Amino acid sequence: MHNIHYHRVFNEFTTDALLHLYSYIASSSRFMPKTKRNELLLKFFKQQIVLPRNVLIKKDIKLLVFVAKKGGNAEARLNELHQLNLDYNAKQTDADILNLLVYHLYEDHGFESMLDEQDLYRESKVIYTNQKALSTSFDEHNRFIAPLSFYIDSLSAAFLVQAINEMGTLFCAERGIIDENKYSQVILKRVPE
């Protein structure tokens, strides 16, 4: 899980850095030599290194700062790292993407998730599903093959559905039925291509 989050943060960082650099180059009518590009990237790296969202990649940013300060080609190194990250993301399975979604629902919105058991007391703002639902939703290669059903208290259901749909991942959500215990079913589906 930590690895997936690391790659997501690093992908956002490399994308932002390259966009920053190339936007600046596009707005300038003059040729920009490697030293000027390094200076521009160095400023960007120093701004990014202090942000809390980049705590996982702080060492990587420091290495890029070192490359830029020593006259290396920071742009080329950044492009290499960005390509490595894109290759990693291409290898992610649907189950990995679901894990990332669950992680972000917890980190960004406070939704915990648990496997449901018969005699388990259900708490509010906790997503419950069972092992059978998970195993029927994914095949042996961890591809998402059928909608995944889970439950959450009715008061949190609309917010959860909205949070999932706004994330723009492989999945979208819709509300289902409400059971006798005031828990709403939420159905997770693949976003139509």
The confidence score (pLDDT) of residue 18 equals 96
| CB-based contact 152:160 (threshold 8 Å) | yes
At residue 103, the pLDDT reads 85
Sheet holding 171-178, edge to edge: 112-115, 126-129, 148-153, 183-190, 171-178
For residue 126, give the H/E element and its range.
Answer: strand 126-129
| Per-residue pLDDT at 2 | 56
Global pTM value: 0.64
Q: Could you give the domains of the chain?
A: 2-90 (no CATH), 94-190 (3.30.70)
Q: What is the pLDDT of residue 1?
A: 46
Per-residue pLDDT of the chain (193 residues; tens, 9 = 90+): 457 678 888 999 999 999 999 999 999 989 999 999 999 999 999 999 999 999 999 999 999 999 999 989 999 999 999 999 888 878 888 888 888 888 888 888 899 998 887 667 778 888 998 888 888 999 998 889 999 999 888 888 889 999 998 887 778 899 888 776 678 889 999 887 6
